[in-house]
Amino acid sequence: MLEIKNLHARIAEDGTEIIRGLDLTVKAGEVAAIMGPNGSGKSTLSYILSGREDYEVTEGDILYNGESILELDPSERAAKGIFLAFQYPVEIPGVATMQFLKVAMNEQRKYRGEDELTTPEFMRRVKEAAAELKIAPEMLRRPLNVGFSGGEKKRAEILQMALLEPKLCVLDETDSGLDIDALKVVADGVNALRSPDRAVVVITHYQRLLDYIVPDTVHVLYKGQIIKSGDKTLAHELEAKGYADIIEAAA
């Protein structure tokens, strides 16, 4: 589903190279964890996948379902099924969460040439998905992310993910700022979305989240490259020994 080939990318404004020859393949149905110390390029990778223009790809390619997505703008990538759950979800004052969801769902449908959802159908879907994530209807009437607690923000991200039904989900440090109860709710939400035709990339600093969202593969990102890949035991190894040994071994 996702193939990243020898990717090099830099910050557009000052030319600092962040990703330096990254290779990664994630298959449909797979949950891949990307781990790495601070500053290794984890968040940058999520932005590049979703098409943020602050970054320039200088070499290599990103294939999604066999096609390069480098020329697509972020909203086109989203409509094709790439979803990014933000580490720091952004506040949109005055725009009720419900309204935002409706606009997003319908804009994606429009792009794909589908009819807009009817209001009852939209309401039915939102209610169902919100209940799964223990989101109160009252929260849906509040402006998106404005005054939301850390847990509410992350649940709102997963709610959007559930409703937009993406094919490739990228979760950027979704565990940051969550207590253990909130973490469980969020992880359950993600697990419920695991399916044979959907891939999930979980970007995280810590093993903790991976106790709840158990990955099929684990990749260690360091200085813009994947320096080691393995199965879920690699995450435990990292937890026990830290990054230093692996970095040393790769050097």
Partner 1 sequence: MPAVQETIDQVRQIDVDQYKYGFETKIEMDKAPKGLNEDIIRLISSKKNEPEWMLEWRLQAYRRWLTMEEPSWARVRYPKIDFNDIHYYAAPKSMSGPKSLDEVDPELLKVYEKLGIPLREQEILAGVEKSKIAVDAVFDSVSVVTTFKEELKKAGVIFMSISEAMREHPDLVRKYLGTVVPQSDNFYATLNSAVFTDGSFVYVPKGVRCPMELSTYFRINEKNTGQFERTLIIADEGAYVSYLEGCTAPQRDENQLHAAVVELIALDDAEIKYSTVQNWYPGDKHGKGGVYNFVTKRGDCRGKNSKISWTQVETGSAITWKYPSCILRGDGSRGEFYSIAVSNGHQQVDSGTKMIHLGKNTSSRIISKGIAAGVSDNTYRGQVSAHRKAENARNFTQCDSLLIGDKCGAHTVPYIEAKNSTAQFEHEATTSKISEDQLFYCLQRGIPEEAAIALIVNGFVKEVIQELPMEFAVEAQKLIGISLEGSVG
Closest to partner 1 by CB, 163 vs 246, is 163
* Enclosing H/E stretch for 96: none
- Tell me, what DSSP letter sits at residue 84? E
Residue among 135, 168, 149, 152 nearest 49 (CA): 168
From 16, 66, 90, 118, residue interacting with partner 1 (rule: CB under 8 A): 90
> Could you say whether residue 29 binds partner 1 (CB under 8 A)?
no
Closest to partner 1 by CB, 15 vs 196, is 15
Closest to partner 1 by CB, 101 vs 226, is 101
Least distance in Å: CB of 205 to partner 1? 21
Identity of residue 121: E
Least distance in Å: CB of 74 to partner 1? 4
63 has which bridge partners?
Answer: 3, 68
Residue among 31, 10, 35, 60 nearest 247 (CA): 35
Closest to partner 1 by CB, 86 vs 222, is 86
From 78, 159, 213, 221, residue interacting with partner 1 (rule: CB under 8 A): 78
> Could you say whether residue 86 binds partner 1 (CB under 8 A)?
yes
Which stretch in 28-36, 94-102, 126-134, 182-190 sits in contact with partner 1 by CB under 8 A?
94-102
Helix axes 180-192 and 150-164, enclosed angle (nearest 10): 0
Residues whose CB falls within 8 Å of the CB of residue 175, separated by 6 or more in sequence, listed in order: 183, 186, 204, 206, 208, 209
Pair of tokens at residue 16: 């600092």
Residues whose CB falls within 8 Å of the CB of residue 2, separated by 6 or more in sequence, listed in order: 24, 25, 26, 49, 62, 63, 64, 168, 199, 201
Closest to partner 1 by CB, 79 vs 235, is 79
From 64, 83, 148, 222, residue interacting with partner 1 (rule: CB under 8 A): 83
- Tell me, what DSSP letter sits at residue 195? -
From 27, 103, 181, 245, residue interacting with partner 1 (rule: CB under 8 A): 103
> Could you say whether residue 12 binds partner 1 (CB under 8 A)?
yes
* Binding positions for partner 1, rule: CB under 8 A: 12-13, 50-54, 73-75, 78-79, 83-84, 86, 89-95, 99-100, 103-104, 107-108, 111, 143, 160, 164
